[in-house]
A and B are shown apart, each in its own frame.
Chain A
């Protein structure tokens, strides 16, 4: 039992850790990309132009309504097709190429994360009290200063619980990339199962690793929330 998970050529510990590293990298790279996209879409949804607003609403509705795995396949296969058509135009002799699965995973997960994050950010932005902004103006702050010193810290406070949930979802959704041949934790587990014929043991360990990651994230998020709420009087 312990031998199965030892480090080195006999055990599967190193392979699983390597997979875990891919899973963590994938989630950590997706987070900033998805957040940026979320800010952009939230800006669209809050815009004065009805066309931009409709674009923002359309994007969030579409992306939140589709299964993540379908989005992943559309991105992975679609970008693959586009890339191959481009290659036949530029270098016909090169033969078929594959779109890098890591990049496809980041793009697909960021598209989904961005749609949910946009809704969280929009709600948080609308929750910033008008009086705070007026107070800032009254003591002579310019629009930029108001944004950095008043709107953004409040936005962070309101959006953090929602974004924390999205981070946990992202962490779990990374498991989907194992189906497009990316060697993440899930796929490393699958390879180990193929050799050892002990599916329950290995998938249980994979589940426990994901669980630990989520519990750890929850601890960090609770700290961040406490920090974001410092100075707030409690009833």
Chain B
């Protein structure tokens, strides 16, 4: 029962770290989710120049390690300290938590844009024609037909993306954010107690399991009109 004793001793710190992990992931994914629908529309059928710019952005984000992006923003901002100070932004970039959220949002936005673009392009053209035929405006078609359907198609892939982001958020510990991974490394470096890594592993898996459960519930709600009668 040594494992349980050590778990109860470490738990307050680990849980504190887990909250930070959830904050990092939640904020990053949420900011990305606000921006991604607009970008996905542009990527699916915007002006040529905008499409090209988006393709470069997405290719760069997906073709470079998240750690390198994090270092580029967190350490790289130091090279422009004078300029950032005069803009009043230095306080923002000095905090590793802010940099991590910014990088996660930029990164996740690239992935979410691609996923949503796939969803938008998978909406059957007949549905959009039908909506136009009964006199819906462009905005109405987007709000009532395109996006509800695109989100339902993209929902499982979006869930995967958020889980990947949650796992990747452990990288924030390398720029000294005390998330779950950061707390784990702190405890290990003080006590050399190896089991703390396994405790962290259990917590990460628990977060994933809870998220998958909630995401499935939401998916069922999104497609409730398709469920067989008598089932929720």
Query: In the complex, what distance in Å separates the CA atom of A139 from the CA atom of B205?
Result: 49
Chain B residue numbers with a CB within 8 Å of A204 are 72, 76
Contact of B181 among A70, A193, A214 (CB under 8 A): A70
Q: Are A67 and B65 in contact (CB under 8 A)?
A: no
Chain B, Cβ-Cβ closest to A185: B68
Chain B residue numbers with a CB within 8 Å of A73 are 184-185, 188, 197
Query: In the complex, what distance in Å separates the CA atom of A214 from the CA atom of B68?
Result: 14
Question: B60-90 vs A: 1/0 string, CB under 8 Å?
Answer: 1011111111011001111110000000000
Chain B residue numbers with a CB within 8 Å of A66 are 167, 201, 204-205
Residues of A in contact with B, size category: 35 or more
Query: In the complex, what distance in Å separates the CA atom of A77 from the CA atom of B191?
Result: 13
Query: In the complex, what distance in Å separates the CA atom of A78 from the CA atom of B198?
Result: 11
Chain A residue numbers with a CB within 8 Å of B80 are 200
Q: How far is the CB of B106 from chain A (nearest CB, A)?
A: 13
> Chain A: interface secondary structure?
helix
Q: Are A214 and B167 in contact (CB under 8 A)?
A: no
Q: Are B194 and A77 in contact (CB under 8 A)?
A: yes
Total contacts A-B at CB 8 Å: 110
Contact of B79 among A70, A178, A199, A211 (CB under 8 A): A199
- Assuming A78-B194, A186-B67, A199-B71, is B77 touching A67 (CB within 8 A)? no
Chain A residue numbers with a CB within 8 Å of B71 are 186, 189-190, 199, 203, 206
Chain B residue numbers with a CB within 8 Å of A225 are none
Chain B residue numbers with a CB within 8 Å of A176 are 65, 67, 171
Name 16 extra pairs, CB < 8 A, besides A178-B67, A197-B79. Answer: A65-B205, A66-B205, A67-B170, A67-B171, A68-B167, A70-B184, A73-B184, A74-B201, A77-B188, A78-B197, A173-B65, A186-B67, A203-B76, A207-B64, A210-B68, A211-B59
